[in-house]
Amino acid sequence: MMHLKSSILAAGTLALSIGLAVAPAKAAEFINVLTGGTSGVYYPLGVALSEIYGKGIEGARTQVQATKASVENLNLLQQGKGEIGFALADSVKLGWEGNKEAGFPAKLDKLRAIAAIYPNYIQIVASQDSGIKTIADLKGKSLSVGAPASGTELNARTIFAASDMDYKDLGKIEYLPFAESVELIKNRQMDATLQSAGLGVASIRDLATSLPINVVAVPAETVAKIGAPYLPVTIPAGTYEGQKEDVPTAAVGNILVSHDGVSDEIAYQMTKLLFDNVDKLASSHAAAKAIKLENATTGLPIPLHPGAERYYKEKGLIK
């Protein structure tokens, strides 16, 4: 009897050890996508990206985190508190340099680029009642410039400096996210908002359907004074309700950023799935229509992640 029990126990132990050898427990791959405020462009694109990664990367568990966008995303990535995030190119450059004034306590040396994606347009919009038609007209008026030390707010500081103006020239300044800024204008408590986002951003569309607006020009000569990574661009007529003319402004590229703690294989999959699914991203927000593989490595102020580099070599984009 004892012999039989021993045999059964031994067989069970053997089966268990074989089972463990054949099917080791596989840890789920966690991918946290860092975005921006829910009324901006980063958020819907991040939601779409997380769904693409959840379906396309075996064993992946994904989540989307709403943040204050560029600066916060880059600091979180440096700390390993996200696997991929959206950020403006000028913020990425300042983070890599460890610019304290821009909100970076030290050099963010762990950042690695996945891809240059679409441009952010600097969009300054005022209520028609305010009479603001030029940047100079903002003197003595109230303006919201985005969350403090956000990528948008860094853009605002840069545009003001190139226009020989300062925040002190304003009548009132607010540091608010896009949707809250728009609500204040709708309630006649704010004259204008500066938003750095893809064309057709929901917050400005909402404002334009609520009251007549002026889209304020950033002249090409002002943009030229700033130089790279700022580019002169045009907000086409009809982008927003009541916008009857093309309006010149500045654009800054957006970058999808990861860090050196993300494995080469996961970074490769994230890059490949991004470009395999541009149509899906564009259906979540039209800004993604500007994502082009041929521009993916252009103007990156930080090194490529080796996983992304492998993908671009396969595609013949880099040698």
- Quickly list DSSP for 141-169: SEEE--STTSHHHHHHHHHHHHTT--GGG
- Beta carbons within 8 Å of 23's beta carbon, 6+ residues apart: none
Same topology, domains 29-118+254-314 and 120-252? Answer is: yes
**Please, what's the largest Cα pairwise distance for the chain?**
98
What tokens appear for 189 in the block?
Answer: 């408590």
- Specify the fold of 120-252: D-Maltodextrin-Binding Protein; domain 2 (3.40.190)
Mean pLDDT of the chain: 91
> Would you place residue 27 in the very low, low, confident or very high pLDDT band (cuts 50, 70, 90)?
low
- pTM here is 0.80
Residue 67 has pLDDT above 60, yes or no: yes
E runs forming strands in 53-169: 60-65, 84-88, 111-127, 142-144
Determine if residue 15 is left, alpha or beta; phi over 0 gives left, psi from -120 to 50 gives alpha, anything else beta: alpha
Residue 138 has pLDDT above 80, yes or no: yes
Structural contact between residues 228 and 94, judged by C-beta atoms closer than 8 angstroms: no
Structural contact between residues 46 and 40, judged by C-beta atoms closer than 8 angstroms: no
Residue 19 has pLDDT above 50, yes or no: no
- Spans of all domains in the chain: 29-118+254-314, 120-252
**φ, ψ (nearest 5 deg) of residue 33:** -95, 115
- Specify the fold of 29-118+254-314: D-Maltodextrin-Binding Protein; domain 2 (3.40.190)
pLDDT tens-digit series, residues 266-286? 999 999 999 999 999 999 999
What tokens appear for 145 in the block?
Answer: 């410039």
Distance CA 269, CA 310 (A): 10
pLDDT tens-digit series, residues 156-201? 999 999 999 999 999 999 999 899 999 999 999 999 999 999 888 9
